Structure formats: C-alpha cells, structure tokens
Amino acid sequence: MDFEVLNVDDDKMVLFIHEKMMIHSGFSSSPKSFEDAHETITYISEHITEEKKFVIFLDVNMPDLDGWGFMEELEKKGLDKYCYIFVMTSSIDPSDKEKAVTYAAAIGFVEKPLSVEKLNDLKTKEELRPLFN
C-alpha cells in the first residue's frame, strides 16, 4: 500500500527536527511538512487515491485551524478514511488524550519531540504494520 507522511505544525523548527528524525529512522524518505492545516487538507484532497494512505503527525495547538478543527474538517469532507493521525503535543493533558480517541482517524497520541525510538515503535502499531512490511 502506498502512503505519504505529513507533518502539520506551526513551528518551523519542530517540522525540521521531525523531518530529520523520520528520514534518519527510515519512517519516511520524503516526509512533507505544512505550517497551515488548511493547506494540508487541500493537499490531501488533491492527492488521494483508493490505494494511498496519509500518515499525519498533527500538532494540536495551532492558530486559525487547530488540530481538533483539522480532524473535524477531514471527517466532514470524508477524507478521514484515508488518514492515520498521530496527535502531537508538548504537554500530555489527559483530556487531550480522551478527546483524541473520539476521532476515527486518530490512532495515537505522541509527545513532542519525535525520536528515532518513538518512530520505530510507531511502525509496529497494528494500523501501520501493512505500510512497513
């Protein structure tokens, strides 16, 4: 199955670090990064196919359209079925974890920053195994 890795965060430094970690760990050879959630939705809309999935690392706290609004928009547009989303945050608030599981596309909650170890663990998640085998 074909897949693309997308990073969505309003912090350029976080995007840079996450891209480097993904490449170094072999999680993705060419992750794409977006500072704007609206642009990410447009990109997904323009690049979906029945055979492609998007693995998305999504920051919760962003201006304009935050992570929760992003997932709601994906659901409204019927794009969530093409996505596996890891909700990213720098503070693990239990209420955020509870809220994340209410979205069908959200398959995990990851504390920033990403590391090679975290990415290697994510490859073994049941939903992602077919993408890495």
Give pLDDT tens digits for 20-76: 999 999 999 999 999 999 999 999 999 999 999 999 999 999 999 999 999 999 999
Average pLDDT over all residues of the chain: 94
Q: Residue 46 has which token pair?
A: 């323009």
Q: Which of 41, 51, 56, 81 is nearest to 6 (CA)?
A: 56
CATH superfamily of 2-125: Response regulator (3.40.50.2300)
Burial class (CB in 10 A: 0-12, 13-18, 19+), 18: buried
SS3 115: coil
Q: Where are the domains of the chain?
A: 2-125
- This prediction's pTM: 0.95
